[in-house]
């Protein structure tokens, strides 16, 4: 055969694959063919070399890792048949399935990856999410918008605070407190989010945290929140039950002890007979090590420390 001439494979069969027509060459210039598999008529594109060598003999249905989900049910979704594979820009392939949702709505036929079905990450065509939102909407929270900031109330009568400008963002969700007192809601059928991340627009940024500057976790006004790294957020620890402040405690020798933790190392600042001296030592250390993230800088003026 002359060099450069491609042998016609149309109509030939390789394993469970029958060649239908020639496809476009891949980016490396290799000849490719559109093939139909015996399993359910699924069509795939295969390099000619892989067909002739026997490396590819099916659409993947003969692989020991392949699991036929046809007829299986996952929550509200019933798998009808295999769909087109999803292929990422990097070449990763993921098998997808056409599913029928129980709701029978206009958009109840959807294409879902097998991984999401098996992991229970996709449970419906979207109708379940709408039901959850409708059951946990603003009618279950009451609001007072008459002041300089908004006040919300949970079903238990717990108060929470927010900026009036954020009312339009939070009003369509029902907010309730978790075991630590943080305000949370169901964003969709599988995801719960915190109000402080919601109003600070960083739901999906895993590299940042939101710090409640004064530890009032039910107060989500943005002036009392700040974006921080995990390390910076750790600087703002809970107050001591003895002093009412961070980093100042009373020891068994009847002295006030000041400490600070920076870069995971605890630094001893000294022990003092006078409580104010211990507080001042702690505040000076916060200014030195934490800068703008000093959790108690509102006390600087009171203790004569220049910001």
Per-residue pLDDT tens over the stretch 89-108: 555 678 889 999 999 888 89
Q: Could you give the CA distance from residue 280 to residue 298 in angstroms, rounded to a whole number?
A: 12
Cβ neighbours around 208 below 10 Å, total: 15
Q: Could you give the CA distance from residue 168 to residue 145 in angstroms, rounded to a whole number?
A: 12
pLDDT at 138 over 50: no
Q: Could you give the CA distance from residue 139 to residue 143 in angstroms, rounded to a whole number?
A: 10
Residue 267 to residues 228, 274, 288: CA-CA distances in angstroms? Answer: 22, 20, 12
Q: What pLDDT is recorded for position 158? A: 93
Taking alpha carbons only, the member of 113, 64, 124 closest to residue 85 is 113
State mean pLDDT over 131-152.
79
Residue with tokens 């929270």: 141
pLDDT at 241 over 70: no
**CATH 3.90.75 intervals, the chain:** 136-228
Which pLDDT tens digit goes with each residue over 195-209? 999 999 988 888 888
pLDDT at 220 over 80: yes
The number of helix segments (H) and strand segments (E) in the chain equals 7, 21
Q: Are 40 and 98 in contact (CB under 8 A)?
A: no
pLDDT at 129 over 80: no
State mean pLDDT over 252-266.
82
Q: Most confidently modeled of 85-99, 154-168, 225-239?
A: 154-168
CATH annotation of 231-303: 3.30.730.10
Q: Could you give the CA distance from residue 136 to residue 134 in angstroms, rounded to a whole number?
A: 6
* Residue % of the chain over a pLDDT of 90: 33
The more confidently predicted of residues 293 and 90 is 293
Confidence at 2, pLDDT banded by 50, 70, 90? very low
**CATH 3.30.730.10 intervals, the chain:** 231-303
pLDDT at 301 over 50: yes
Q: What pLDDT is recorded for position 103? A: 92
Residue with tokens 């908004």: 150
| H-helix segments, 193-304 | 195-199, 230-235, 275-290
State mean pLDDT over 124-147.
77
Q: What pLDDT is recorded for position 51? A: 93
Q: What pLDDT is recorded for position 65? A: 67
In CATH, 136-228 is 2.60.40: no
Q: What is the pTM of this model?
A: 0.42
pLDDT at 232 over 80: no
Q: What is the DSSP string of 115-132?
A: HHHHTT---SSSHHHHHH
Q: What is the mean pLDDT of the chain?
A: 84
The single-letter DSSP state of residue 109 is E
State mean pLDDT over 8-30.
90
């Amino acid at each position: 055969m002359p060099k450069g001439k491609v042998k016609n494979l149309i109509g030939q069969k390789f394993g469970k694959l029958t060649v239908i027509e020639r496809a476009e060459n891949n980016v490396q210039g290799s000849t490719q063919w559109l093939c139909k598999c015996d399993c359910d008529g699924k069509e795939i594109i295969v390099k000619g070399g892989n067909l002739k060598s026997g490396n590819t003999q099916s659409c993947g249905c003969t692989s020991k890792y392949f699991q036929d989900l046809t007829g299986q049910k996952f929550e509200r979704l019933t798998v009808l048949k295999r769909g087109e594979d999803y292929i990422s820009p990097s070449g990763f392939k993921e098998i997808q399935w056409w599913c029928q949702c129980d709701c029978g709505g206009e958009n109840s036929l959807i294409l879902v990856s097998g991984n999401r079905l098996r992991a229970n990450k996709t449970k419906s065509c979207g109708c379940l999410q709408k039901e959850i939102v409708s059951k946990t909407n603003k009618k279950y929270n009451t609001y007072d918008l008459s002041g300089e900031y908004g006040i919300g109330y949970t079903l238990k009568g717990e108060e929470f605070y927010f900026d009036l400008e954020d009312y339009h963002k939070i009003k369509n969700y029902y907010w309730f407190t978790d075991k630590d007192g943080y305000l949370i809601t169901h964003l969709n059928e599988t995801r719960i989010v915190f109000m402080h991340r919601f109003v600070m627009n960083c739901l999906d940024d895993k590299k940042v945290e939101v710090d409640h500057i004064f530890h009032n976790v039910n107060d989500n006004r943005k002036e009392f929140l700040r974006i921080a790294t995990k390390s910076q957020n750790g600087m703002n620890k809970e107050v001591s039950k003895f002093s009412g402040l961070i980093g100042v405690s009373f020891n068994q020798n009847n002295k006030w002890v000041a400490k600070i933790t920076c870069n995971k190392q605890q630094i001893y600042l000294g022990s003092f007979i006078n409580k104010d001296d211990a507080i001042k030592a702690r505040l000076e250390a916060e200014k030195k090590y934490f800068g703008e993230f000093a959790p108690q800088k509102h006390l600087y003026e009171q203790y004569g420390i220049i910001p």
